[in-house]
């Protein structure tokens, strides 16, 4: 390497004791809102459930142990585009043979957390009932403004810019060709990796088709596409207030969410419940410790505001970028509990589709909810493209 080449450095997550003391004091001092009778989850976060969760957070949850468990993964930081970028990099098990490089993209409201359960299944499939030949070298970066990556000081980065950073990251790690996969904003980033770096991305796997670009008339759309787009609009009217806030006035919400851990938990947990395949009981998909590990990650890194600002950046992406078709071979796994699930006609309109599956379980956070199903999806999809990834 030359002096100008970015140099990855090992990174160990660590929270000072004073920050833990401050969190517990804030939790004890939570000022709870009044609650209309029988409100439940119908108006947003269920305050009764949040009281229970906050009590557990303050009295029983062991963040130090959870942070140490996360720290068992190999963490690194590297300077790219003027920002310190955090990523987890796990190479395939030594017994697995040649491995395919794979970069995984997370979304909101999460971070590298989305993939912690599935990483060992991808890097050492032979130890988890799979074929050792399906092993991956896995790279899971935190987007700028998320997790342990730096927050942009000025304008937030959009998905196109983040895709450029991930292409550079894979070069720094010595991977000229690789696969890309993701969901939510990570799907968006993976899409632009395939669009802007088709000579390097051998195939791309996504768990959604993104939010459709709505144009007047839509006479050329198939009936199922029109029905889906109308459904997306209806979903946005009923469930999209968070996204409108993120796109337009993220700093207003950031003040309260950065000051109140109970408020932060409400903002995140309501989405974990609504977007997962939990049947209305969030703890069917996530334990309290898993929920609070994610919420605590946001709290201690102070990234709720910066993560929301990315919606503002993505809201300004020109329509002509959103309308581009992905020609790199594309696969989609549409999990039943996810939101705005597109019809195949739309996927084929927007991408070079070679595989679409509908797994029996899982939702928006499928790699965390159903890691075995998600791992098998990636193994099966990328299997035909391994030889291409090995070519320099």
User: 192 an active-site residue?
Assistant: no
At residue 368, φ and ψ (nearest 5 deg) are -90, -40
Among the listed residues 87, 277, 364, 374, the single catalytic one is: 364
Among the listed residues 137, 311, 338, 374, the single catalytic one is: 311
**Structure tokens, 115:** 């993939």
Cβ burial, residue 239 (10 Å; 0-12/13-18/19+)? middle
* Consecutive H or E run containing 351: strand 351-357
At residue 157, φ and ψ (nearest 5 deg) are -85, 145
Rounded CA separation 127/118 (Å): 13
Beta strands 75-80; 9-10: pairing state: antiparallel
**Structure tokens, 84:** 């310190």
Computed from CA positions of residues 225, 215, 348, 179, in that sequence, does the dihedral angle turn out positive or negative?
negative
Q: How many CB atoms lie within 10 A of CB 86?
A: 24
Place of tokens 């896995």: 138
User: 46 an active-site residue?
Assistant: no
Burial 342-364 (b: 16+ CB within 10 A, else e): bbeebbebbbebebbeebeebbb
Rounded CA separation 145/83 (Å): 10
Say which DSSP state 232 is in: H
Among the listed residues 184, 208, 277, 338, the single catalytic one is: 184
Q: Are 110 and 367 in contact (CB under 8 A)?
A: no
Rounded CA separation 154/137 (Å): 33
Q: Are 104 and 186 in contact (CB under 8 A)?
A: yes
User: 56 an active-site residue?
Assistant: no
Cβ burial, residue 243 (10 Å; 0-12/13-18/19+)? middle
Rounded CA separation 364/16 (Å): 32
Q: Are 102 and 203 in contact (CB under 8 A)?
A: no
Whether the bond between 109 and the residue before it is cis, its omega within 30 degrees of 0, is yes
Point out the residues that are catalytic: 184, 311, 364
């Amino acid at each position: 390497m030359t002096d100008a080449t970015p140099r990855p450095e090992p990174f160990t997550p660590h929270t000072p004791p004073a920050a833990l003391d401050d969190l517990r004091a804030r939790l004890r001092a939570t000022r709870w809102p009044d609650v209309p009778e029988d409100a439940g989850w119908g108006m947003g976060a269920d305050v009764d459930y949040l009281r229970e969760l906050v009590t557990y957070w303050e009295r029983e949850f062991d963040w130090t142990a959870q942070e140490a468990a996360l720290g068992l993964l190999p963490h690194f930081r590297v300077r790219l585009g003027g920002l310190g970028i955090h990523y987890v990099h796990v190479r395939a098990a030594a017994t697995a043979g040649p491995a395919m490089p794979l970069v995984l993209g997370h979304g909101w409201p999460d971070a590298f957390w989305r993939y912690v359960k599935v990483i060992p299944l991808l890097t050492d499939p032979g130890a988890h009932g799979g074929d050792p030949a399906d092993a991956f070298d896995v790279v899971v970066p935190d987007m700028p403004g998320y997790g342990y990556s730096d927050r942009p000081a000025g304008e937030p980065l959009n998905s196109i810019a983040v895709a450029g950073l991930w292409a550079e990251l894979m070069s720094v790690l010595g991977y000229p060709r690789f696969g890309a996969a993701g969901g939510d904003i990570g799907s968006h980033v993976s899409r632009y990796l395939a669009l802007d770096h088709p000579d390097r991305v051998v195939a791309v796997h996504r768990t959604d088709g993104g939010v459709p670009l709505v144009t007047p008339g839509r006479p050329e759309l198939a009936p199922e596409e029109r029905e889906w787009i109308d459904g997306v609009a209806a979903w946005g009217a009923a469930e999209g207030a968070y996204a409108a806030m993120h796109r337009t006035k993220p700093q207003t919400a950031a003040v309260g969410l950065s000051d109140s851990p109970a408020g932060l938990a409400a903002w995140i947990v309501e989405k974990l419940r609504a977007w997962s395949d939990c049947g209305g009981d969030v703890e069917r998909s996530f334990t309290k410790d898993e929920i609070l590990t994610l919420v605590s990650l946001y709290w201690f890194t102070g990234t709720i505001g910066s993560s929301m600002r990315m919606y503002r950046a993505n809201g300004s992406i020109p329509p002509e970028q959103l309308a581009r078709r992905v020609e790199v071979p594309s696969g989609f796994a549409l999990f039943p509990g996810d939101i705005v699930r597109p019809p195949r006609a739309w996927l084929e309109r927007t991408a070079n589709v070679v595989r679409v599956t509908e797994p029996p379980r899982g939702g928006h956070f499928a790699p965390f909810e159903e890691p075995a199903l998600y791992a098998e999806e990636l193994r099966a999809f990328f299997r035909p493209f391994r030889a291409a990834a090995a070519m320099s």
